[in-house]
Amino acid sequence: MKKQIDVVGAVVVRDGRILCAQRGQAGALAGMWEFPGGKIEVGESPCEALQREIVEELGCTVAVGEEVAVTTHEYDFGIVTLTTFYCELEEGDPELSEHEDMVWLLPPQLRSLEWAPADLPAVEAIELKFNSL
């Protein structure tokens, strides 16, 4: 039986652009793009986990807003359930510490990146939301 991993991701929006983060070359899903975030620790709410992870990974703080998507995807290393949320920067600018690269893209540009499979439903939800505006 594979390990169940519950994670959260931040769809950080600034000036109509979305923050996209590239995973490092070491480890699982190397070089793929994702919405920054990480594992929910015991006793944390998804919102608390996301705020903690963004401070740890990007050195800034976010306000967590509405849910974007919930996805479950089976990888070699386990079954990941990813919940993504729209977020706004509260304090600081994102700085790379764990990721290889980051870019700010308009919603129609998101598909130009190679996304981790669990993040794709959130990409689709973002496209639908912004195409209907």
Predicted local confidence at residue 1, as pLDDT: 80
The answer, yes or no, to whether residue 116 has pLDDT greater than 80, is yes
pLDDT of residue 90: 96
Confidence (pLDDT) at 131:
75
**Average pLDDT in the 124-133 region?**
85
- pLDDT tops 70 at residue 107: yes
| C-beta of residue 50 within 8 angstroms of C-beta of residue 87 | yes
**Rounded-to-integer distance, Cα 100 and Cα 23, Å:** 6
What local confidence, expressed as pLDDT, does residue 28 receive? 82
d(CA 105, CA 124): 14
pLDDT category, 100, cuts 50, 70, 90? very high
For residue range 26-35, list pLDDT tens digits in order: 888 889 999 9
DSSP class of 16: T
pLDDT 10s digits, 41-86: 999 999 999 999 999 999 999 999 999 999 999 999 899 999 999 9
Are residues 69 and 118 in contact, defined by beta-carbon separation less than 8 angstroms?
no
Is the distance from CB of 12 to CB of 59 less than 8 angstroms? no
Q: pLDDT tier at 133 (50, 70, 90 boundaries)?
A: low
